[in-house]
Amino acid sequence: MTLPRHGVSLCSLYQARQRIAGQAVRTPLVRSPALSARFDAEILLKLETLQPTGAFKLRGATNMIAALIERHGRDALRAGVTTASTGNHGRAVAHAAAHLGVPAVICLSRLVPANKVVAIEVLGAEVRRVGRNQDEAFIEVARLVDEEGMTLIPPFDDALVAAGQGTIGLELMEDAPELDRVFVGLSGGGLLGGIGAAIKAIRPATRITGVSLSDGAAMWKSLQAGRPVEVEEVASLADSLGGGIGRDNRCTLALAREVMDEHFQVSEVAIAHAMVDILEHEKLLVEGAAAVGLAAIVEHKLDVRGQKVALILSGNGVALETFDRARALAGR
């Protein structure tokens, strides 16, 4: 069988599910009575906030490290693993590495909130603060790989990482096989691409809706240009949607282009309102990136009446001061 150019197949998704069993959990898909009534639709929430690390990233990181050990043996990772991250991926790599007995060094830019730094350090990984953005943090990652023999675990641009995230799509299709639409935050493309690959292989009629920040939407700009485009990274309530896609993107640009049906950008105000709404009505404290699906429906006045819609609540890594800022921005 020939793999697609991006390397993510239905077979690789099921292999990923086997590898991550026991580390990443199968998260609930729950109906929101409040949102369903508000939009006259069946609104379902995929609670990736319940992962042991608080976000979906654990799936991809675990799949890649486990696959490397499976293929090359544990000695191949003796020097350890490394990555750059906006926070959630670093925490996932630290968790997976500790569970599998592998050293880890996580490089973070100065934009990453302090609460995410602490969450990584408590898992036993070494944290290095490097640069003003994720691309600059990756300079130190490249040095660790070239000079110290560490193995890179990319935050998104790898078929193994994307397949790990795509196990969410398998679960969605099993729990709600007649989904009409799935809203997914779009940053590097691993989450949207993986979920989309699973769903399009099983139910092509389900629409995959990507949601990006209004500023700093690197993947969306790259899709429009047909090649990787660098954009200025800006601070956001949805900080985990920041960062570039890499100048030599090998996987997720092609994957997102293949599976995404439509795309919307959302403002900081819309994200703030959505974060507060989710806490008030669902009693869930979520980070900005987890609220962008709801933000898109509201800000763009999308008609989802009569549809079965899934929102991916991707993570809960929000500091209380960040949520307070969201409340102030929303005027609530």
pLDDT score, position 214? 94
- Per residue in 235-271, pLDDT tens? 899 988 887 888 899 999 999 999 999 999 999 999 9
Computed over every residue of the chain, the mean pLDDT equals 94
57 is catalytic: yes
- Per residue in 158-181, pLDDT tens? 999 999 999 999 999 999 999 999
* Cα–Cα distance measured from residue 218 to residue 242, given in angstroms and rounded to the nearest whole number: 8
pLDDT score, position 116? 79
Say if residue 3's pLDDT is above 60.
no
- Per residue in 129-155, pLDDT tens? 998 877 788 899 999 999 999 999 999
Residue 52: φ, ψ to 5°: -55, -30
Give percent of the chain above pLDDT 90.
83
State mean pLDDT over 61-87. 93
Q: Which of 32, 85, 212, 314 is catalytic?
A: 314
Higher pLDDT, 230 or 106: 106
Residue 105: φ, ψ to 5°: -125, 125
**pTM score > 0.85 for this model?**
yes
- Per residue in 268-306, pLDDT tens? 999 999 999 999 999 999 999 999 999 999 999 999 999
The CATH architecture annotation of domain 57-152 reads: 3-Layer(aba) Sandwich (3.40)
Higher pLDDT, 86 or 80: 80
Reported as a pLDDT band with limits 50, 70 and 90, residue 1 is very low
Say if residue 62's pLDDT is above 60.
yes
10-55+158-330 and 57-152 share one fold: yes
> Which fold does the domain 10-55+158-330 belong to in CATH?
Rossmann fold (3.40.50)
Sequence spans of domains, the chain: 10-55+158-330, 57-152
Say if residue 32's pLDDT is above 70.
yes
Q: What's the 3-state SS for the chain? A: CCCCCCCCCHHHHHHHHHHHECCECCCCEEECHHHHHHHCCEEEEEEHHHCCCCECHHHHHHHHHHHHHHHHCHHHHCCCEEEEECCHHHHHHHHHHHHHCCCEEEEECCCCCHHHHHHHHCCCCEEEECCCCHHHHHHHHHHHHHHHCCEECCCCCCHHHHHHHHHHHHHHHHHCCCCCEEEEECCCCHHHHHHHHHHHHHCCCCEEEEEEECCCCHHHHHHHHCCCCCCCCCCCCCHHHCCCCCCCCCCHHHHHHHHCCEEEEECHHHHHHHHHHHHHHHCCCCCHHHHHHHHHHHHCCCCCCCCEEEEEECECCCCHHHHHHHHHHHCC
Q: Which of 57, 116, 200, 308 is catalytic?
A: 57
85 is catalytic: no
Give percent of the chain above pLDDT 70.
98
